[in-house]
Amino acid sequence: MANANLFRSQKGKLLPNANAINFEQAPAYRLPPQQLLAQYAATGCLNATFYASAEAQLDTVLELSKEVDTRFIAQTAIYCRERGYMKDMPALLTAVLAAKGAAELTPVFDRVIDNGKMLRNFVQIIRSGAVGRKSLGTRPKKLVQAWLNTASEKALLSAAVGNTPSLADVVKMVHPKPTEAWREAFFAWLIGKPHNADALPPNVKAFEAYKRDRAQPLPDVPFQMLTALELSDAAWAQIALQGGWQMVRMNLNTFARRGVFQLPGMTEAIAAKLRDAEAIAKARVFPYQLMAAYCSATQEVPPAIREALQDALEIALANVPQIAGKVVVCPDVSGSMSSPVTGYRASASTAVRCIDVAALVAAAMLRKNAGTSVLPFENDVVNIDLNPRDTVMTNAQKLAAIGGGGTNCSAPLALLNKNKVQADLIVFVSDNASWVDATRHGATATMREWETFKQRNPDAKLVCIDIAPYGTTQAAERMDVLNIGGFSDDVFNIVAAFAAGQLSPAHWVGEIGAIGI
C-alpha cells in the first residue's frame, strides 16, 4: 500500500502549486505579466523599499514592458495616473511608449502628462536613456511643444518650480514656437533672454513688480517663487489663502512657524479649505497623505486644523464600500511593513509606512461596515480592541502602533478555521512577503487555509490588497480570489465590485484592459 500520508485524498479544489519564491525565499505565486506590470505601476515609486531597490523596480518594469503589448502598457499608464494617482510610474510607461514608437503614445501623453511636473518627469526619463533612447525624437518633441504652447499661465508658472530638468531646460530643449505674444514673452523671461515686459502675462508682471516693491499686492504665483523674499505674516496668510489644497496640506507647520494661525480668521479659513469635499476630490489626495499631515503636525498647529484633517480623511474615504454580509480585514503589521510607503529617498522619505496604509484601510472598512472583524497579523494574529465608533484616524493609529515580527499571511485564516467562523469577504492588506508559514512543496499555506475556509463558506471571496512592488502573492488568482495593488481610494471601488460579483473573470486586469485609448 502506498504512503497514506503522502497520497491521502484532498478535500475541495485541487490547489495550484507555488511557482515562485518571494524575497524571503519562501514559496509564493508569481503574478502573470500583465498583472505584474499593473502591480508594480500601482505601488512602485521608483525608490528603495524594504526588499527591492529602485534599480530593481525599474529593471522589472522595463522587462515586463517587453512582454506586454503596447495597448496594455498604455492602459496601465492611464489607470495609474487617473485612478491610482501615481506620478513617476505613469511617466515612465509613457516614456516606454515613446521609445517603442507606439501608436498609443499621443492619447496617453494627453491624459497622463497633465501638469508641469509630469512633463518634466517624462522629459527627465527620456533624456536619462533608461528606456533605450536619450533624445526625445520627433513625435515626443511635438507633444512637449504642444503642451508648452497650450498650457495656461497658471500651469506654466507651476511647472517653472523644480529642477532636473527645469521648465527652462525643457523650453531650451524643444524650442516651442508660440503664436501668442504673452507666451513668447514668458518663455524668453523664463530662460533669461531679452523679452517684451509689457507682453508678460499678468501674474508674472505682478511677481516682477512685487520683487521691486513689497508694497505691491502679493502675486498669485507658486509660493516657492516667493520664499526667497522677505515676507510678512500677512503675506504668508495670503499665500495660504491662494494656495492649492495639496500645498496647504503640506505646509501647515510652515504656516504655524510664520504666525499665520495667529491672525484673525485664518485658522477657520484654512480649516474650511482642508475639509472642502470638492477640493479634496480635485487634489486627488491619497487618504494616507492626510494621515501623514495629521501625524506630522506640530503643537503650534491649532486643534481645529487637526480636526479638519480628520474630517478630510473621512471625506477622502467616501469610496470605502458598504458590503453585505460578514467582512474580515487582515492588516499586515510585520517588520517588513515598516518601509516608507513610497520608498526610501535620501532626505525626503515619507513618514508614512506600509503599516500605516494597511491600518488605515482596516480602520476605514471597520468604520463603514458594521460587524467587521479586524485581525492584524505578524508571526500570528495580534489581539487588539477597536471601537468602530472611533474615528478612522484613531483606530488606524492603534493598529499602526503594533509593528514588528515576521510575516505569516495564513495566520488569520487559520484562526478563522480554528474557530469555525462564517464570513463572506476576507480582505488582506500586506506586502505578501510571507515566510513564517512557508511550505516545502505544493500550495502556499494561505491557499490551503483558504480552501479549508471555503468548505464552510462556499460563496466567500478573498481580496489581497498589495501595497509594495514585490511581484508575488500568497493567494493564486481565481474566480473567488482578487489580487490588486495600489493606495488610492479606487481600490475600494474595485473591492466593492468584486464582492458584489460585478467584475469580469479577469478581475483587476480586466478593469485596466477596459480603459479606452
For residue 8, what pLDDT band results from cuts at 50, 70 and 90? very low
In the numeric block, which cell numbers belong to residue 2? 502506498
For residue 347, what pLDDT band results from cuts at 50, 70 and 90? low
Mean pLDDT, residues 420-425: 97
The model's pLDDT over 230-262, given as tens digits with 9 standing for 90+, comes to: 889 999 999 999 999 999 999 999 999 999 999
The model's pLDDT over 171-221, given as tens digits with 9 standing for 90+, comes to: 999 999 999 999 999 999 999 999 999 999 999 999 999 999 988 999 999
Distance CA 72, CA 85 (A): 18
- Write down the pLDDT at residue 6: 42
pLDDT at 9 > cutoff 50? no
- Reported for 141-148, long-range contacts at CB under 8 A and 24+ positions apart, including other chains, are 141/174, 143/105, 143/106, 143/109, 143/113, 144/119, 144/170, 144/173, 144/174, 145/174, 145/175, 145/176, 145/177, 147/113, 147/119, 148/174, 148/176, 148/178, 148/187
Task: Tell me phi and psi for residue 86, to 5 degrees.
Answer: -80, 165
The model's pLDDT over 132-157, given as tens digits with 9 standing for 90+, comes to: 989 999 999 999 999 999 999 999 99
The model's pLDDT over 392-402, given as tens digits with 9 standing for 90+, comes to: 889 998 998 99
Distance CA 108, CA 75 (A): 8
Distance CA 414, CA 462 (A): 14
With 0-12 / 13-18 / 19 or more C-beta atoms within 10 angstroms meaning exposed / middle / buried, residue 458 is exposed
Which residues are paired to 402 by β-bridges? Answer: none
Average pLDDT, the chain: 91
pLDDT at 13 > cutoff 70? no
pLDDT at 350 > cutoff 70? no
- Write down the pLDDT at residue 7: 43
Q: Which residues lie below 8 Å from residue 84, measured CB to CB, with a gap of 6+?
A: 41, 42, 486, 487, 488, 490
- Write down the pLDDT at residue 466: 93
pLDDT at 490 > cutoff 90? no
For residue 295, what pLDDT band results from cuts at 50, 70 and 90? confident
pLDDT at 73 > cutoff 90? yes
Q: Domain spans of the chain? A: 321-513
For the domain bounded by 321-513, which CATH number is listed? 3.40.50.410
Q: Identify the residue with better confidence: 364 or 104.
A: 104
Q: Identify the residue with better confidence: 503 or 321.
A: 503
- Write down the pLDDT at residue 48: 74
278 CA to centre of own chain: 20
Instruction: Return the minimum-mean-pLDDT range out of 241-245, 378-382, 456-460.
Output: 241-245
* Amino acid identity, position 40: Y
The model's pLDDT over 311-341, given as tens digits with 9 standing for 90+, comes to: 999 888 877 878 889 999 999 999 999 888 8
Q: Is the Cβ–Cβ distance between 120 and 165 less than 8 Å?
A: yes
Report the side by side order of strands in the sheet with 27-30: 20-21, 27-30, 472-473
Q: Is the Cβ–Cβ distance between 329 and 373 less than 8 Å?
A: yes
pTM above 0.85, yes or no: yes
For residue 452, what pLDDT band results from cuts at 50, 70 and 90? very high
Q: Identify the residue with better confidence: 470 or 148.
A: 148
